[in-house]
Homo-oligomer: A and B are copies of this chain.
Amino acid sequence: MGKIKVTIWNEFVHERDDNPVGEYIRNIYPDGIHEFLKEKLQADDLEIRAVSLNMPDQGLPDEVLNDTDVLMWWGHCAHHLVDDELVARIRFRVLHGMGLIVMHSGHYSKVFRTMMGTACRLRWREVGEKERLWVVDPTHPITQGVPETFTLPHSEMYGERFDIPEDGKILFMSWFEGGNVFRSGVLFQRDYGKIFYFSPGHETYPIYHDENILKVLGNAIRFVNPACGVLPDRITPTPQSHEPITTENPLIEVKTACLHQQKK
């Protein structure tokens, strides 16, 4: 089997800010979150690209997007700048099997909200409080290799209520020092595509330096990869289709003419 083609998309705005915040973030992610993750997640079975909003075609021309097995998405302050047409192309790809990993503030991106149908609102607070993650499904491939609970010393609080659809399979729940809880790792399926949302990842803390966080992201890449356990001819869904009368349907006779046929 070939390598999994991963594309890490980052809006790449905070890291380039010409102010003390940008400087602070650059100390953590000198070349941006996408380049940092590309380096940290590299492995023999992965072929990783790092792209960003400021690149041509917002980083995802057809030749990149259509060559991507798993798309990772980090966005925060530039959600509104992402082209609706790009969002539609990503949605099409996800429904046809491309895996999608939405990170942190990507919860409010057009891409995630389009796939969910909901607004994906939550409560938030940025005071550097402690976050403690709990594994809710220890049997899932995405939770392997991390302890049943682990702590991030400083994190942005993301709290309930999080208005995601109820089919989200909860893999992680988070506790925050200030009194909030959150479904922090949730898995969805939308047609042929698997979508994993993972909330840790605020840009002003070195969260993607954490080994457990990286382990989860690495597991998620392998799991949402469309070829994970699936035959090649099952990776692309069949279109909405007319179902003819065949020998498989021997019982049926045409009882009424298809009235619309003359127009179709």
- A interface vs B, CB < 8 Å? 19-21, 24-25, 91, 95, 97, 108, 114-119, 121-129, 132, 134-141, 143-145, 148-149, 151, 154, 157, 159-161, 163, 165-167, 169, 173-181, 188-192, 204-205, 223, 226, 229-231, 234, 237-245, 248-249, 251-256, 258-263
Q: Which residues of B contact A231 (CB under 8 A)?
A: 144-145
A179, B252: Cβ atoms closer than 8 Å: yes
A239, B127: Cβ atoms closer than 8 Å: no
A101 CB to nearest B CB, Å: 16
A171 CB to nearest B CB, Å: 11
- Smallest CB gap from A107: residue in B: B240
A126 with B260, Cβ < 8 A, contacts A116-B117, A134-B161, A178-B245 known:
yes
How many Å lie between the Cα of A124 and that of B230 in the bound state? 26
**CB contact between A237 and one of B121, B166, B178 (< 8 Å): that residue:** B121
A240, B121: Cβ atoms closer than 8 Å: yes
- Smallest CB gap from A159: residue in B: B243
A79 CB to nearest B CB, Å: 12
A125 with B244, Cβ < 8 A, contacts A139-B192, A191-B163 known:
yes
How many Å lie between the Cα of A223 and that of B228 in the bound state? 12
B180, A174: Cβ atoms closer than 8 Å: no
A181 with B117, Cβ < 8 A, contacts A139-B192, A242-B124 known:
no
B234, A139: Cβ atoms closer than 8 Å: yes
B173, A160: Cβ atoms closer than 8 Å: yes
A189, B139: Cβ atoms closer than 8 Å: yes
Q: Which residues of B contact A118 (CB under 8 A)?
A: 95, 190-191
B138, A234: Cβ atoms closer than 8 Å: yes
Q: Which residues of B contact A126 (CB under 8 A)?
A: 256, 258-261
